[in-house]
Amino acid sequence: MTESTLTKVVLSEDQIPTHWYNIVADLPTPPPPHLHPGTREPLAAEDMTALFPMGLIAQEASTERWIEIPEEVRAIYRLWRPSPMYRARRFEKALGTTAKIYVKYEGASPVGSHKTNSAVPQAYYNMLEGKTRLVTETGAGQWGAALSFASEMFGLSCDVFQVRNTYEGKPYRRMQMEVFGGKVTPSPSNRTHAGRELRLKFPHTTGSLGMAISEAIEEAVKDPNASYALGSVLNHVALHQTVIGQEAILQLEAFGERPADYLFACAGGGSNLAGLSFPILRENLEGRASTKIVACEPKAAPSLTEGEYKYDFGDSSNMTPLLKMYTLGADFVPDPVHAGGLRYHGMAPLVSHCYSEGLMDAISVKQLDAFAAGVMYARAEGIIPASESCHALAGAVEQARKATEDGSSPVILVGVSGNGQLDLPAYHEFIQGKMADS
Amino acid sequence: MTESTLTKVVLSEDQIPTHWYNIVADLPTPPPPHLHPGTREPLAAEDMTALFPMGLIAQEASTERWIEIPEEVRAIYRLWRPSPMYRARRFEKALGTTAKIYVKYEGASPVGSHKTNSAVPQAYYNMLEGKTRLVTETGAGQWGAALSFASEMFGLSCDVFQVRNTYEGKPYRRMQMEVFGGKVTPSPSNRTHAGRELRLKFPHTTGSLGMAISEAIEEAVKDPNASYALGSVLNHVALHQTVIGQEAILQLEAFGERPADYLFACAGGGSNLAGLSFPILRENLEGRASTKIVACEPKAAPSLTEGEYKYDFGDSSNMTPLLKMYTLGADFVPDPVHAGGLRYHGMAPLVSHCYSEGLMDAISVKQLDAFAAGVMYARAEGIIPASESCHALAGAVEQARKATEDGSSPVILVGVSGNGQLDLPAYHEFIQGKMADS
């Protein structure tokens, strides 16, 4: 293939994937099942019906390789998909690197991140089964905004518990949810039993995703017209995000590039990493590529690199099924670092399984290194990356520097999961030299 | 032609225009020249050399129809251009209209608006002539951010005087300028003679574009390595923006659509309106279309619909050349409405000339109608429009309602000049019912 001189590759609408890719079908060993928290037996479909519609429960347990994307979902995807891929030539030049850097960019979605890829099908399947209301939690606010948008697309109402730290510190994201019709409550709140208990136990807490999940579940379960919705971690969420990686493979081809040598993606709950990497992991497993996949997590919430691989709860009040994952403990409350989307205590079971099987690597990135990479990227390429995405860019920067030292020209694929327009106060802090290096 | 089922048309990089289109070449009567404020004689090129590089001065006075876009500028344009065009089917449905609505969207640029289309060539021509620093003013902050970005692209420093009202009320935009390397000062300031005079005269002023222009000009003129840069109003700025309309013509064709029946674009200084409409006005003048072009200005700063057509200064301290334009007076300070980009006292001389010759129409839009249209558009299409762009959408909404009443299906082209991520506090105010209807 001849290397292209294009700056970006934007696919046509008919190249939006027709199916989601389920990595479970191709894994060398089956991933450990979710367990019922009472019996510790593998979870049955009926154990989840209070929380999720059957369409999503079936996907959670599916071993089918390809699951068709409903046309109603693809119609909404077309509002912003396919997402662009850039050859970041000016960033390469700024780094003085011999490496070639390609960026798959999810920041042009309605809410500015990859989260809408799963929010839209989640709202769709709920609408299909007669639900009229969704309840969820959100950390940085990206997932809450995505679900507010998706609910609006299918005529559902949307109730969001937002981690208090970001509710207060990042009001723009709350306002974005309101524009899309979402109703937002800071968590922990007095609206739920779980919230009231948590406020008694931790009166000064800035909140955590685990706490907000407990509140959202409680609120959803008590309304028969409502479902709960989760923005990461679970298998069906990872599944929906695989539109990213499938497009990325076509785009690298259109750039006339061989499979990537490296893939860097930020990992909080794991859905962004899974979405970009699983279709490429399939290429690895089938011998068409040997891409080194690197999860980039923040030093402040290092579940893969410093957590324990065990069954744990997804929330703080032990209301979820038990999930086998790398975890820092369900009551872990990280420092209020700026990459709010990366503050979760655990890592998606499918990502955890791949990591434990040696199919992926992981690094942890310090906050200042992440923002230094983000500012450099913004000034070179004109895109201000989300604070989460800065971690992936920092991973790529380090790899590019190694390449320059040994004179190699590897192809580095970076997932930039969102734009940082609503993270500008964090950039301001970094540029003013006032950011802590957690 | 057959009407397309596509949601959006995204052109390929080789369809970025190779030339800017100069409407002056095709106007039935020549536009009145800018005048020297002392002699009131037509301005000579040498009168402007203290402010602008020769490359831009030549464009300001050019009567050539096509002016080639330098490859170095097109290389930067490729970071985000061509910009997409959407068929807003869900918006049509929400309106229940028989009209067909197409949206040309400039909100995916590095700073989220059309302003980068002119900032990049302005920085380029200055770099080419050895300047190392640009000084400018900004209202809502979009132009300041665009010039900060463009300066960074060509290694120049950038000094921005921002209207105090938005400097204080919209800190995110200032932070965006900082990320792109801009240095921002609230205006009027104590840094300049003009600023100090204005603060004495109006101690409680929230600032105005006219005042900030005076400060920027003074600051630029005293540094031989610096140039001044203006983000709207002047002929060369309108010229650069014509990439928008040229792409839009190709995109309407790709949609299989006849020329638009109506074009709605917001108009503050006039560059966005000029950019989208001038290439289409050429189609009108040459008999290939009969598109009704409608400038949408805010009721709070209605230069076309309520101003006087006369020679006036571009700034508050009478430092600019005299420009023949529809104006509310150079000392006009509008209410601090949210569409900061539409608060200028005058209208671009080329737009003013076209309007006075009957080649364009104009309407004024009240703030609440603008935001109602913006929220409706966001909830239908997943894009939160800039507060400026909401005025164009409101114009289109009214036209679409008329079409439904008389059962017609006109093609309505709307320019959405930017995204509203940094206007979220205004949306919040609107949704809370706290916005004034100025």
Residue B119 predicted with pLDDT over 90 = yes
pLDDT band at A336 (very low <50, low <70, confident <90, very high): low
* pLDDT value at A438 more than 80: no
Closest Cα in chain B to A14: B6
Quick check: A27 pLDDT over 60?
A: yes
pLDDT band at residue B140, thresholds of 50, 70 and 90?
confident
- Give the CATH class of A8-16+81-112+242-431: alpha beta
* A80 closest CB neighbour out of B6, B378, B382: B382
What are A97-144's pLDDT values in tens digits? 999 999 999 999 999 999 999 999 999 999 999 999 999 999 889 999
pLDDT in tens, B205-250: 988 888 899 999 999 999 999 999 999 999 999 999 999 999 999 9
Largest CA distance in chain B: 63
How do beta strands A133-138 and B292-298 pair? unpaired
Best probe of the A interface among B5, B77, B179, B387, by most A CBs < 10 A, is B179
Structure confidence at residue B30 (pLDDT)? 96
As a whole number, mean pLDDT of residues A64-81 equals: 98
pLDDT tens digit sequence for B250-274 = 999 999 998 999 999 999 999 999 9
Chain B residues with CB-CB distance to A8 below 8 A: 13, 78-79
pLDDT at B432: 95
CB A305 within 8 A of CB A297: yes
Measure in Å the smallest separation between the Cα of A157 and chain B Cα atoms: 13
Query: What mean pLDDT comes out for the span B9-31?
Result: 97
* pTM, full prediction: 0.96
Domain residue ranges of chain A, discontinuous segments joined by +: 8-16+81-112+242-431, 19-67+115-235
Average pLDDT, integer, range B141-157: 97
Mutate to test the interface with B, among A7, A12, A71, A116 (most CBs of B within 10 A): A7
* Percent share of chain A, pLDDT over 70: 100
Mean local confidence (pLDDT), A142-168: 96
- pLDDT value at A177 more than 70: yes
Cβ neighbours of residue B389 under 8 Å, at least 6 residues apart?
B107, B266, B374, B415, B416, B417, B418, B420
Q: Does the B19-67+115-235 domain belong in CATH 3.40.50.1100?
A: yes
Find out whether B208 and B332 touch, Cβ atoms under 8 Å: yes
In whole angstroms, give the CA distance from residue B106 to residue A108: 12
B115-147 in b/e form (b: 16+ CB < 10 A) is bbbbbbbbbbbbbeeebebbbbbbbbbbbbbbb
pLDDT per residue over B78-97, tens digit each? 999 999 999 999 999 999 99
For residue A423, what is the nearest residue in chain B, using CA coordinates?
A: B172
pLDDT in tens, A271-324: 999 999 999 999 999 999 999 999 999 999 999 999 999 999 988 778 889 999
Q: What is the pLDDT of residue A189?
A: 96
List the single residue in B with minimal CA-CA distance to A430: B179
Buried b (16+ CB within 10 A) or exposed e, A69-92: beeebbebbbbbbbbbbbbbbbbb
Residues of A at the B interface (Cβ-Cβ below 8 Å)? 6-8, 10, 12-13, 75-76, 78-80, 86, 108-110, 112, 116, 149, 152-153, 171-172, 175-176, 178-181, 375, 378-379, 381-384, 421-422, 424-425, 427-428, 431
> Rounded mean pLDDT of B262-290?
97
Confidence of residue A1 (pLDDT cuts 50, 70, 90): low
3-state secondary structure of B237: helix
Question: Which residues fall within 8 angstroms of residue A156, CB to CB, at 6 or more apart?
Answer: A123, A126, A127, A131, A132, A133, A134
Residue of A nearest to B112 (CA): A421
ipTM of the complex: 0.96
Q: Is B252 helix (H, G, I), strand (E, B) or coil?
A: helix
pLDDT in tens, A184-221: 999 999 999 999 999 999 999 988 888 899 999 999 99
**Mean predicted lDDT score pLDDT of chain B:** 95
CA-nearest of B264, B266, B262 to B291 is: B262
pLDDT (average), residues B42-71? 96
Residue B336 — pLDDT band, cuts 50, 70, 90? low
Query: Given a cut of 60, is residue B129 above it in pLDDT?
Result: yes
Beta carbons of B172 and A424 less than 8 Å apart: yes
For residue B414, what pLDDT band results from cuts at 50, 70 and 90? very high
Query: Is residue A310 within 8 Å of residue A345, measured between CB atoms?
Result: no
pLDDT score of A333: 75
